[in-house]
């Protein structure tokens, strides 16, 4: 069986159908010098498992792509969210503006406008009031 492996260079491998992806990784380590733990072998963008047998995967005459495993991110906004058993989640750098509780569903438009006028009056002085508009 013939396989093509695209790493830094393109290689042609003659393999029997009984080899696993882990054994293919060992061949690639000998050819490219990239350790087996740092390799991600994929076909058409889908990573292949190490214990998958080539004959069961129907990989004859196909091209396997080998990429190095990416290092874990040490971004500061990721570190803040790690705590206990909660899953790691991305956080936005910009925070959403929170709506006042009075503007949520069930409130009237006039109440919301009067709150807005009061907010502007505090910001710009007493000249702007609902009566003057």
Contact 106, 119 (CB under 8 A): no
Query: What is the model's pLDDT at position 131?
Result: 58
Query: What is the model's pLDDT at position 45?
Result: 85
Mean pLDDT by groups of 10 residues along the chain of 133 residues: 89 89 91 89 88 82 87 59 52 56 60 77 62 55
Query: What is the model's pLDDT at position 30?
Result: 92
Give the whole-angstrom CA distance, residue 86 versus residue 80. 12
Query: What is the model's pLDDT at position 106?
Result: 52
For 26, the token pair is 């060992």
Which residues fall within 8 angstroms of residue 83, CB to CB, at 6 or more apart?
A: none
Q: Which domains does the chain have, with CATH numbers?
A: 2-68 (3.10.20.90), 99-133 (no CATH)
Beta-bridge partners for 14: 2
- 3-state secondary structure at position 10: strand
């Amino acid at each position: 069986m013939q396989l093509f492996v695209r790493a830094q260079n393109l290689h042609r491998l003659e393999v029997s159908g009984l080899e696993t992806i882990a054994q293919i990784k060992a061949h690639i380590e000998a050819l490219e010098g990239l350790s087996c733990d740092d390799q991600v072998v994929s076909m058409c963008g889908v990573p292949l498992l190490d214990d998958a047998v080539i004959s069961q995967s129907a990989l004859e005459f196909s091209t396997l792509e080998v990429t190095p495993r990416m290092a874990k991110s040490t971004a500061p906004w990721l570190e803040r969210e790690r705590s206990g058993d909660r899953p790691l989640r991305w956080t936005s750098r910009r925070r959403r503006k929170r709506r006042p509780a009075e503007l949520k569903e069930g409130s009237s438009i006039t109440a919301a406008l009067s709150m807005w006028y009061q907010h502007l009056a505090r910001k710009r002085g007493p000249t702007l009031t609902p009566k003057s508009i």
